[in-house]
A and B are shown apart, each in its own frame.
Chain A
Amino acid sequence: MMSLKPRNVDFTETWAHLKETVAGVVGLRAVERSVWNTRFSDVYALCVAHPEPLADKLYDETRNFLEEHVQGLLQRVRGTVALDNNDHNDGLLTRYVTAWREYSQGVAYLNSLYSYLNLQHVKRQKVSDAEIIYGSSATVTCPEHDARQLEVGELGLEIWERVLVKPLTSALTGRIVNALAAARESPPDPAHASILREAIHSTVQVRAFRVRAPLQLYQQLVLEPYLTAAAAAHAKLAAELLASGDVAHYTKHALAGLDREISLGARFLDSSSAEAVRGCYERAAVAAHLPALHATVHQLMKDAAADLPSASERRVDLRRMYTLLRPLGANALRPLVDAAHAQAAADGQALLALSHNKDEAHTHFVNAMLSLHGKYSKLFGEVFGGAQAFVGALDKACSAVVNSRLPSDGSARAPELLARYCDALLRKRAGGDADVDDKLAAAIVVFKYVDDKDVFQKYYARALARRLIHQLSASMEQEEAMINRLKAACGYEFTNKLHRMFTDVAVSADLNAKFQQHLRDNNLATSTGFFIQVLQAGAWPLGGAMAPLAPPQQLERPARLFEAFYRASFNGRRLAWLHHLCTGDLRTRYTPRLYHISATTPQCALLLSFETVDVWNARELRDSLQLAGDAWHRHLRPLLDAGLLIATGDVGSETEDDTSADATIALNLAFSCKRTKVRLTCANAPNHPGGSSSSNSGTAAEPGETAAHCDDDRKMYLQAAIVRIMKQRKVLRHTELIQEVVSQARGSFAPSVAMIKKCIEALIDKQYLERAPAALDTYSYLA
């Protein structure tokens, strides 16, 4: 039974017994349980000895013992080999690890034998970790300098490092570095591998208890010398790879080398070194050769994108190249990104330049862009894992190709071609098209790259107007879905007018129903069927003056009735007839076979002029219908071409407005035609892009006119944006305002700073804004 009472203890005698057991524990020899317990009590007794505690003395003696013991181990480890030959197979590493296994275990046991000393004596003296790290006026010492503050187990490790490792440092380093180099070439057998790993790991464990620089020994003894040697080996490997083959050969083996190096590090080195190992390889084997690698990327990119069987191998090479370059940062990757951009842009220009039917230019354009986008999205996704830098490069390339300008007149054709593409899809067609929705959705992909979205909007609006007025749309659902797609891409303002046009069509349907009800209610039946579309001015791109026309008497009555009805239904509105857009359905009564003729209002008036007169003097007819020069020809020509009317003498032409005084026009009483339905159109007037037209070329309006028209709209847009921004911000500096406006407009077009400045001036004139009185270059909002 051990006594807890402090008493006199004979140090020499007690230590003699204790020392024997300590030697046994450290040497991993069996110690009986009872002996262990007795010695445990001895440690206690010494620590609490009376009159004077003997803990310090015990600690000193223990240290002396351990130092002596480790000296002995050092001799055992060193053996008789020549230390400086650095042969990793000379047995030194094996002996070192054997001694380390025994000693580190033994010291751990010893630490528990000395539990009381550790707990009561050392801990009390030991400064807290926080004090070590942050410093304290109360302590000037630190564990590195005062071994007494270490627990016995820690003391044992400190002695190992100082007494055994230090003299062997260069011998151990040399052998470990050599063994690792050998392991890189061919994996060692399990026994040797485990010796090597434990030897390396011992340099971590021996200082693991340290608060400061726990990895210092590992870094000095293993990691740093290893990395120095590895860098030289990697550089040599890379130079050989580049010398002995092409870039494909290099990337393949360099990447394999990287994998090998990473797994070598993971297998033998401390886990904290993974980054350093990788970085060392990348610097020595890749970064050092960047210029040589960069020189190859353009060709590699070209080959990977080629339409050849070998391209798939090149894509693998390219992927390897990317994997090697990516960790080196944006600058190392830049030439690869540039090459990706250049390749996609060049390919895009080549696709656009492929020969095609001029009538199908819109389909060719959109299909070329979609195939470019599809091809490179897939390629970059596969090779670069969809990395943002390459997505950006593709976007830049697509944008450059889409907005490329014709060398002839410097105009960008994308807005017009894309609008035509949509128009063709949205029109009624024989047979229909099953995947129209998909194609329209795909058109948005191209649309997003268009710079001058507002110009596109103009073309699109004209085509939409034509489809709506002439009921040429295949489906109103498709029309609305497309407007909503554009809205999703560009916002409400962009599609505002399109929505207004669309709404007019719905409102008109309702209006017709009400009008018919009104006629029935008031017994105002008309003999002629009547359908009207009432469009709001400003929303529809229907330029041009309204042609004056004395309508045929048959049309007078429905027109008057509707006007009266409309005036009664609304307030403050003015109604104007768009005769060039009105069409009449006539039936012939003078031909053996009946023909249904669909014609413009002026054409109807022309035909109906022959009810009572067989032959008209051309000038008189023109004047009686008040058809001005240009309109006269545009409406008359199709009637002559169809053979419904016959001209005698010179009635002039669109280009030569000269109707001779004696020219006459007669109704062709012998008219005959293969079809019973005859649809007459009128030739396109330059300022009437909304005019009825049978050809698809209607969207091809004058580019100059569209540009000028756009300029006004851009100013309107910018003013609205400025008001919106200023209303929210109240006071804003000039440069900030410009920036915000540019970023808001980006969805539709890229505004010039000069135009924004003009708009700001205009708003100051209109007293929406003022220059802030106190501050320079600052505007404030006037509510």
Chain B
Amino acid sequence: MSGEDCDPMDRGENDGQKPDKMFTLKKWNAVAMWSWDVECDTCAICRVQVMDACLRCQGESKKDSYGKQDCVVVWGECNHSFHFCCMSLWVKQNNRCPLCQQEWSIQRMGK
């Protein structure tokens, strides 16, 4: 790296007088993190973080699911959320939310 790599066109633009703008913001390299918009990070059925695949999906360790989040989250009308896999099995036995005992009905699915 040398000091000679500056753009010659940039030079001489300023003459020591204080300009109206001190800086130009050329570019922003942002980093953000997404997570499911849930009240509780953990699935109450399998006790695994909802950002991770559920315990059963991890057990199967599907070879084709390289980081793909195919084990998504589901929200009930009661706003409680679980792994979709976990809830699908749960409702076969008991069609109520395991946390609040309300009748289970899907409000939305994660995508």
Contacts and interface: CB of A to CB of B under 8 A. Distances in A.
Given A503-B66, A572-B111, A573-B36, A586 B25 contact: yes
A210 B29 CA distance: 95
Given A539-B67, A676-B3, A586 B24 contact: yes
B30 to A, nearest CB: 4
Q: Interface residues of A toward B: which range?
A: 35 or more
Contacts of B1: 675, 677
A502 B59 CA distance: 22
B35 to A, nearest CB: 4
Interface stretch (A16-24, A693-701, A720-728): A720-728
Contact of A578 (B33, B35, B110): B33
B66 A537 contact: no
Interface in A525-539: 527-539
Interface string A658-685: 0000000001010001111100000000
A565 B84 CA distance: 25
A583 B33 contact: no
Interface in A106-134: none
B1 to A, nearest CB: 6
Given A589-B22, A611-B22, A572 B32 contact: no
A675 B73 CA distance: 50
Contact of A531 (B28, B48, B59): B28
Interface string B10-51: 110111101101111111111111111100000000111101
B96 to A, nearest CB: 16
Nearest to B47: A766
A591 B67 contact: no
A628 interface: no
A586 B26 contact: yes
B28 A530 contact: yes
A536 B111 contact: no
A591 B10 CA distance: 11
A624 B49 CA distance: 36
Contacts of B82: none
B7 to A, nearest CB: 7
A604 B25 contact: yes
A766 B60 contact: no
A574 B31 CA distance: 14
Contacts of A554: 25
A268 interface: no
A608 interface: yes
Contacts of B16: 592
B7 A584 contact: no
Contact of A499 (B19, B32, B67): B67
Given A573-B36, A586-B23, A503 B68 contact: yes
Interface of A: 469, 491-493, 496-497, 499-504, 527-540, 542, 552, 554-555, 558-559, 562, 566, 570-578, 581-594, 596, 601, 604, 607-608, 610-611, 667, 669, 673-677, 716, 719-721, 723-724, 727, 762, 766, 768
Interface of B: 1-3, 5-7, 10-11, 13-16, 18-19, 21-37, 46-49, 51-52, 55-56, 58-61, 63, 66-69, 73, 75, 108-111
23 contacts: A528-B27, A529-B27, A532-B30, A533-B29, A535-B32, A559-B30, A573-B37, A573-B110, A574-B35, A577-B31, A582-B29, A582-B30, A585-B26, A587-B23, A587-B26, A588-B23, A589-B19, A594-B11, A601-B28, A611-B23, A723-B59, A762-B47, A766-B47
